[in-house]
A and B are shown apart, each in its own frame.
Chain A
Amino acid sequence: MTMQVLLNVVPVVVLIIIGFTVGSYRERRHYRQLAEREAKNQDVGVVNLREVISPETVGGATLVMGQAVIASDYFKSFIASLKKLVGGELQTYERLMERARREALLRAIDRAREVGATELWNIRYETSNIMSGRGNQFAISVEVFAYGTAITRKSETHAAA
């Protein structure tokens, strides 16, 4: 009897421990990388205004996009499924959303840089649930999609030429 119980419980506990240790490490590393990349990208201005200022100085405009799908680790998914019993703030989801959002925006900024732009206008976000943690699988992952218009100014294109 106890053998049966152990056989069921031990794998789950092992997975939770792996999820906790490796997952926490990966999350901290991701946050660190996000901070570094955001510091490097301070020169690209990002706004969610619709009307571009001084349109007569605009050289070119292109749609740029960035997206990221981030999954939660086993331990956090486990905790989140327990949290759903008692209600309250789901920090697992909050952190997932924040990471995905920051990552998507950084990628959109990279795209903008590729076309030689230093301004990103009318930035918008779209979110979708990839795995919602329902059913017998409590895996959680979200997708954030960021898109905007990259603007190059005439003076910049002339300087580049």
Chain B
Amino acid sequence: MIVVNTETIPGQQITEVKGLVQGNTIRAKHLGRDITAGLKNLVGGELKGYTELLTESRRQAIERMIAQAQELSANAIVNVRFTTSAITSGAAELYAYGTAVVVDEA
């Protein structure tokens, strides 16, 4: 499955457009219980635990999007975009969406 955020896959022809596909996960934001985050808030710097958590979440959202595209028998997803929405209960939804297409060598 080719996944890109450009509108076309350069050098390939889109033969069929299958439709919009999406994937999302919802993650809790607060790290009050995380000791290292508390320390980092003292000295500043990267919250590595959080970075990894969010990387994992996005990977999961992309996987769900790819699964949807596979169900539609697409072989590529173009124009992928991501959004993050804050949910009031201290959580954020990570959402990935794109257009599933069938591509062929031009």
Q: Using a CB–CB distance below 8 Å, which chain A residues touch chain B? A: 15, 18-19, 22-23, 26-27, 30, 50-52, 55-59, 61-63, 65, 67-74, 76-77, 103, 121-122, 124, 126, 128-131, 139, 141, 143, 145, 147-149, 151
* Max chain B Cβ within 10 angstroms of own Cβ: one of A18, A52, A61, A65: A61
Decide if the interface of chain B is mainly helix, strand, loop or mixed: mixed
In the complex, A130→B43 CA distance in Å?
17
In the complex, A147→B4 CA distance in Å?
10
Residue B71 lies at the interface, judged by CB distance under 8 Å to chain A:
no
Contact with A along B1-35 (1 / 0, CB 8 A): 01111111111000000000000000001010000
How many residue-residue contacts, CB under 8 A, span A and B? Answer: 125
Residue B88 lies at the interface, judged by CB distance under 8 Å to chain A:
no
Q: Is the CB of A141 within 8 A of B47?
A: yes
Distance to closest chain A CB from B4 (angstroms): 4
Apart from A22-B42, A124-B5, A141-B47, 12 more pairs, CB < 8 Å? A19-B42, A23-B42, A26-B44, A26-B45, A69-B46, A69-B48, A71-B37, A71-B46, A121-B6, A126-B82, A130-B31, A145-B54
Q: Is the CB of A55 within 8 A of B41?
A: no
Distance to closest chain B CB from A81 (angstroms): 13
Q: Could you say which residues of chain A place their CB within 8 Å of the CB of B73?
A: none
Residue B92 lies at the interface, judged by CB distance under 8 Å to chain A:
yes
